[in-house]
């Protein structure tokens, strides 16, 4: 029998942003890969909706606002004292900001960077603590093609997603000594609730033009979840510090 390379049996994975979109689908798919999943987001009710769709036993809800970034390492330490060390961390939590430069404020810029970037750094800081991660564990950060190519109207969001890619590379070098791999996925336009809200801000012509920039069309959350699972599993044992672009060809032009 050929082994399933994405089998995550016996592994515990924390997924942030698990209340919707890519985070919710990643949690569901990882449970289908036999992982025990810890769901993290602010809204417990929506996390319970995700939990109801998970496969297998042993999953857990951890309602927490990642905007309180300073509290993350201690929160993770307490969590792992109860659950045991984690084998994976998937950081899908974050916010989108569609403010053009002319109306961007320092307050808004710092808010986006805090939620998207500071939380990622503090999650990694918490993950590396003694008793919080297992040998051969993996961190996957969700960036975006907005961090790789220029997009008008989203300076705060693009800056935050580019920062995550830079953070990923540095963390990969710093945490390799502990046997922790760190990688990113960079999705294009994905059909999620956030994507639909962004699409609603565009005219039909603008939305059609955006889709035309994706040679394979818009993506789905599952397209990204496959990449996340690959980077968590033994299939990526020799991969760290890289960004897996999942964009239907958007950046190929």
Query: 29, 64, 127, 157: which is the annotated catalytic residue?
Result: 157
CA 125 from chain centre, in angstroms, equals 16
Active site residue 226: no
Cα distance between residue 227 and residue 219, in whole Å? 12
Cα distance between residue 183 and residue 168, in whole Å? 6
Judge contact between 163 and 112, C-beta under 8 A.
no
Tracing tokens 């029998």 back to the chain, one arrives at: 1
Q: Tell me the β-bridge partners of 250.
A: none
CA angle 137, 140, 146 (to 5 degrees): 165
Cα distance between residue 138 and residue 66, in whole Å? 20
User: What is the SS3 assignment for 214?
Assistant: coil
Q: Which residues are catalytic?
A: 157
């Amino acid at each position: 029998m050929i082994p399933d390379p994405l089998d995550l049996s016996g592994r515990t994975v924390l997924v942030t942003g698990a209340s919707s979109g890519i985070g919710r689908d990643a949690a569901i798919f990882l449970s289908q890969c036999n992982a025990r999943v810890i769901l993290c987001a602010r809204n417990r009710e929506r996390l319970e909706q995700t939990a109801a769709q998970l496969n297998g036993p042993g999953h857990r809800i951890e309602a927490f606002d990642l905007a309180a970034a300073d509290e993350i390492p201690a929160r993770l330490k307490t969590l792992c004292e109860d659950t045991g060390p984690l084998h994976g961390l998937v950081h899908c939590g974050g916010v989108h900001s569609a403010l053009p430069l002319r109306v961007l404020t320092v307050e808004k810029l710092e808010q986006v960077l805090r939620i998207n970037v500071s939380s990622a750094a503090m999650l990694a800081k918490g993950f590396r603590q003694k008793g919080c991660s297992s040998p051969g564990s993996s961190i996957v950060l969700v960036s975006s093609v907005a961090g790789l190519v220029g997009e008008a109207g989203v300076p705060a969001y693009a800056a935050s997603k580019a920062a995550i890619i830079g953070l990923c590379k540095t963390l990969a070098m710093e945490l390799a000594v502990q046997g922790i791999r760190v990688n990113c996925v960079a999705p294009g336009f994905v059909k999620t609730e956030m994507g639909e809200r962004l699409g609603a801000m565009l005219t039909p012509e603008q939305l059609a033009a955006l889709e035309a920039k994706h040679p394979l069309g818009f993506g789905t959350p599952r397209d990204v979840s496959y990449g996340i699972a690959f980077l968590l599993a033994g299939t990526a044992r020799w991969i760290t510090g890289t960004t897996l672009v999942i964009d239907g060809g958007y950046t190929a032009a």
